[in-house]
Each structure stands twice: as structure tokens, then as C-alpha cells.
């Protein structure tokens, strides 16, 4: 499988030109390697890293050289000093802690983007595969209606049926052709969406494997255990926890910012030809501004971050319960034998076609049997996709690997 993935990346036209169908695992691998949204995940890490470095950086010292008494008969006074900001309250340490949380949040955000990309690719793959198979169903039904129309046309030429019967069968053939054209449009749109996620032109997209039949669904864990598992391993919750931690550290930094940085001054001075040293302290006095605005803003952001985390935890709880209920409902339908409806409908349509040729049933009865076959096959295909999607949704809600085997 690894060799196939490398081959897909290295020489896609050669491999795909040999009619080798693309699997869903290969599609996800290609999207990870060359999908346009991969850059978004990397950029989120870079943005977080840049901001963390900026916020946690210590201030640069200030060097000054000054010469006084220019164009005067007095001897010049020369100063050479260095000013060094000193953080006495530990504000910058709090900012560095916020930066650490920001970096962790950036990594979590990157994982969120990558995981969302995988889910989007899997959904797009199933939609594209479904579109291709629905198009095949529509094509087969159109051919079946055309065969009936040709059969009635021969019977009309032989004088066995009235002209109105030929017109009606040709009308049903035209309706089937319209349905086929609509299915072709939907299939092309689905392939275009998948190709975009894979980062390739749609005409370079290889054929897809057929929809895999789902024989069973995953076993459901206990609800409380499932919720606990989801709360522990969902990366979106992890990102929100780091966001709340970051906001708390920034609020602490702004509270400590009531007392600004001191400026230590040290250097050299030459006055009237005498060399002396310079030592001083600059103390900003918080008389008119005590950093009230930034303190209120960061306090509000901290409250918002905690509230968003709590809301997300409740949302995850609901998603887990809904996903488990969906799997349970699908499992019950699967156990009831729902998967065999397409086979039974095909058998009925085959019997009806033979009976119509023998004159035992009417045209409308044949059309209804053929339409039931097409609708049943389409429903069975959509049912297969729904089974895949409900498993995907369960894994997504639990924070489990999206390609986890059943």
C-alpha cells in the first residue's frame, strides 16, 4: 500500500492510465500530500509560533550617545549610556506562558484542519463513487426502456399493437434519457469536488473503486465511557482548552502590567574634561493610566474562552449521543434485511419484462416494475453510503481515527 501511495504521488498519469481504481485510503493519502488545504494546517502552526515569539520576547536595550555644548566656548559634555528595561512584576513571564499555550493551540488547530480535510475527502469520495454508480443505474434503466421501445416498434410494424403504445414506450425512453443526463451532471459535479480536495485537475482523477458493502457496524461503547473518551481525545476541545489557558495567562499579564517596566541607566559621561560614570533609574508613574483597558479586555476574553470551552463540551456530548443513536438505528435496519431490496426489485423487474413480452401485463405495470428496480438500486447505493457516513460520524464524534476499521 505504501508503494502504491508513492506511485500515486510520483507518477499519477502512468499509474492511473493503467485503469487502476483509486481507493479511499489512497485518496486520503494524496490529499494529505498535495491537497491545497494542507498549507492551511501548516500556516496555522507558523502563525501561532510567530505570535508566541513576539509576545514572549524580552525588550531590546537602548543605547545613547550624546554630545552637548556644540559651537560653544565651553568644553563639550559627552554621554554614552545604555538603558535596559526591567520587568519587576513578571508580566513577561506570564506572556511567555501564554505563548506556550498558543503554540500548543496552534498545533491543535493544525490537527483540526488536517482531520477536517480527511473527513471532507472521505465524504467527497463516497459522493463521487455514489454518483458514478447512480449514473450506471440510470444508463442501464435507459437502455432497458429503449429495448422495450424498440420491441413495441417492431410489434407496431407487424400490426400487433396500436401506435399509441409505441408513443408511450418512446415517451418512457425519453424520460429515462433525461434522468440519465441529470445523473451524469451530478456525477461530474461530485468528481470535481473530489479532485479539488486532492489538488488535481478533474480530468486527471482516476476511476474510483466501487462502493464497499457494509456487512456490520462498529460495536457501541457505553454512553458515559464514549463521552469521557470524546472529551479526552477530541482535538477541537484540546484547542479550546489551550485557548482558555492562553487567555488566563494574558489576563494575568495585563494585571501585572499596572506597574510598567523600569528603565535602568548605566554608562559613561565626560564633563569639563573629567570622566565619570552614570547610573540611574526611570520609573513610569501609573497616575493617569493603570492599564484598565487591556485588563478589562483580557478578562472578558478569558471569560469568553471558558464559556466557549463549556459550550463545546456540551456540543461534543450531544454529537456523541446522536452518532451512537444513528449507528444503533442503522444496525437495526441492517439486521432487518434492508440490504436485499435491490436484488428483490431486480428480480421483479426481470419477471415483469418477460411477462410484458408475452402480453401478460400492461405497459404501465412494466414501467412501474422497472422504475421500482431503479429506485431500489439507487436506495441501496445511498444506503451503503449512509452506513459509511454514520461510521465516519461516530469516529469523528469520538475523536477516533477516521479510517478506523470496523
pLDDT at 188: 96
- Domain ranges (residues) in the chain: 2-398
Model confidence at 119: pLDDT above 70 = yes
Q: Please, what is the Cα angle at 251 between 248 and 257, to 5 degrees?
A: 145
Cα-based distances in Å from 190 to 121, 132, 173, 370, 385:
11, 9, 26, 26, 14
Model confidence at 346: pLDDT above 70 = no
- Residues 237-271 as b/e (b if ≥16 CB within 10 A, e otherwise) read bbbbbbbbbbbbbbbbbbbbbebbbebeeebeeee
Element (H, E) at 280: strand 274-282
Tell me the C-alpha distance between 212 and 406, whole Å.
12
**Residues 6 or more apart in contact with residue 179 via CB below 8 angstroms:** 138, 141, 142
Cβ-defined contacts of 189-196 (< 8 Å, 24+): 189/131, 190/124, 190/127, 190/128, 190/130, 190/131, 191/128, 191/131, 191/132, 193/124, 193/127, 193/128, 194/27, 194/121, 194/124, 194/125, 194/127, 194/128, 196/36
Tell me the C-alpha distance between 188 and 14, whole Å.
23
Number of other CB atoms surrounding residue 60 within 10 Å:
8
Higher pLDDT, 12 or 335: 335
* CATH class for the region spanning 2-398: mainly alpha
User: 9: closest CA among 39, 25, 33?
Assistant: 33
pLDDT category of residue 18 using cuts at 50, 70 and 90: very low
Q: Cβ-count burial of 88 within 10 angstroms (0-12 exposed, 13-18 middle, 19+ buried)?
A: exposed
The stretch 362-367 carries a mean pLDDT of 71
Higher pLDDT, 240 or 337: 240
Tell me the C-alpha distance between 149 and 231, whole Å.
60
Residue pointed to by grid coordinates 470496523: 406
| Residue-wise pLDDT tens digits, 177-222 | 999 999 999 999 999 999 999 999 999 999 999 888 877 788 888 9
The stretch 143-158 carries a mean pLDDT of 81
Order across the sheet with 262-271: list the strands.
62-68, 77-86, 262-271, 274-282
pLDDT category of residue 13 using cuts at 50, 70 and 90: very low
CA dihedral (105, 110, 114, 115) in degrees, to 10, reads 0
Q: Cβ-count burial of 198 within 10 angstroms (0-12 exposed, 13-18 middle, 19+ buried)?
A: buried
In this prediction the pTM is 0.79
Grid coordinates belonging to 125? 469520495
pLDDT at 342: 59
pLDDT category of residue 7 using cuts at 50, 70 and 90: very low
| Residue-wise pLDDT tens digits, 35-88 | 887 888 888 888 888 888 888 888 899 999 999 888 888 888 899 999 999 998
Quick check: 309 and 240 in contact, CB under 8 A? yes
Tell me the C-alpha distance between 194 and 152, whole Å.
42
Model confidence at 381: pLDDT above 80 = yes
For the chain, how many helices (H) and strands (E)? 11, 4
Torsional class of 212: left (φ above 0), alpha (ψ -120 to 50), beta (otherwise): beta
Max CA separation in the chain (angstroms): 132
pLDDT at 37: 78
Whole-number CA gyration radius for the chain:
36
Amino acid at each position: 500500500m505504501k508503494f502504491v501511495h508513492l506511485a500515486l504521488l510520483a507518477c499519477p498519469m502512468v499509474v492511473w492510465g493503467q485503469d487502476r481504481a483509486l481507493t479511499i485510503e489512497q485518496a486520503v493519502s494524496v490529499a494529505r500530500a498535495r491537497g491545497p488545504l494542507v498549507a492551511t494546517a501548516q500556516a496555522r502552526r507558523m502563525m501561532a509560533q510567530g505570535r508566541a515569539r513576539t509576545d514572549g520576547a524580552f525588550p531590546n536595550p537602548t543605547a545613547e550617545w550624546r554630545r552637548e555644548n556644540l559651537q560653544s566656548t565651553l568644553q563639550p559634555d559627552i554621554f554614552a549610556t545604555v538603558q535596559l528595561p526591567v520587568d519587576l512584576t513578571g508580566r513577561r513571564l506570564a506572556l511567555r506562558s501564554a505563548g506556550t499555550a498558543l503554540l500548543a493551540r496552534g498545533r491543535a488547530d493544525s490537527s483540526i484542519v488536517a482531520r477536517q480535510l480527511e473527513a471532507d475527502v472521505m465524504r467527497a469520495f463516497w459522493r463521487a463513487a455514489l454518483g458514478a454508480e447512480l449514473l450506471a443505474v440510470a444508463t442501464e434503466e435507459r437502455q432497458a426502456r429503449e429495448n422495450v421501445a424498440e420491441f413495441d416498434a417492431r410489434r407496431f410494424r407487424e400490426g400487433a399493437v396500436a401506435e399509441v403504445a409505441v408513443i408511450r414506450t418512446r415517451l418512457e425512453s425519453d424520460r429515462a434519457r433525461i434522468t440519465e443526463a441529470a445523473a451524469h451532471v451530478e456525477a461530474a459535479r461530485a468528481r470535481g469536488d473530489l479532485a479539488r480536495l486532492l489538488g488535481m485537475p478533474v480530468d486527471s482523477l482516476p476511476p474510483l473503486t466501487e462502493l464497499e458493502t457494509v456487512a456490520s457496524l462498529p460495536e457501541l461503547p457505553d454512553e458515559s465511557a464514549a463521552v469521557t473518551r470524546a472529551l479526552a481525545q477530541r482535538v477541537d476541545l484540546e484547542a479550546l482548552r489551550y485557548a482558555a489557558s492562553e487567555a488566563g495567562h494574558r489576563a494575568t499579564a495585563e494585571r501585572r502590567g499596572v506597574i510598567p517596566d523600569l528603565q535602568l541607566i548605566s554608562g559613561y559621561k565626560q564633563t569639563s574634561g573629567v570622566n565619570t560614570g552614570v547610573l540611574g533609574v526611570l520609573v513610569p508613574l501609573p497616575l493617569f493610566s493603570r492599564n484598565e483597558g487591556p485588563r478589562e479586555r483580557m478578562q472578558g476574553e478569558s471569560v469568553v474562552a471558558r464559556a466557549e470551552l463549556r459550550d463545546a463540551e456540551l456540543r461534543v456530548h450531544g454529537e456523541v449521543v446522536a452518532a451512537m443513536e444513528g449507528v444503533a438505528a442503522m444496525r437495526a435496519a441492517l439486521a432487518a434485511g434492508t440490504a436485499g431490496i435491490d436484488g428483490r426489485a431486480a428480480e421483479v423487474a426481470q419477471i415483469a419484462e418477460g411477462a410484458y413480452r408475452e402480453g401478460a401485463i400492461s405497459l404501465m405495470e412494466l414501467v412501474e416494475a422497472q422504475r421500482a428496480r431503479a429506485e431500489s438500486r439507487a436506495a441501496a447505493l445511498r444506503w451503503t453510503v449512509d452506513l459509511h457516513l454514520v461510521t465516519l460520524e461516530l469516529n469523528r464524534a469520538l475523536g477516533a481515527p477516521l479510517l478506523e476499521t470496523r
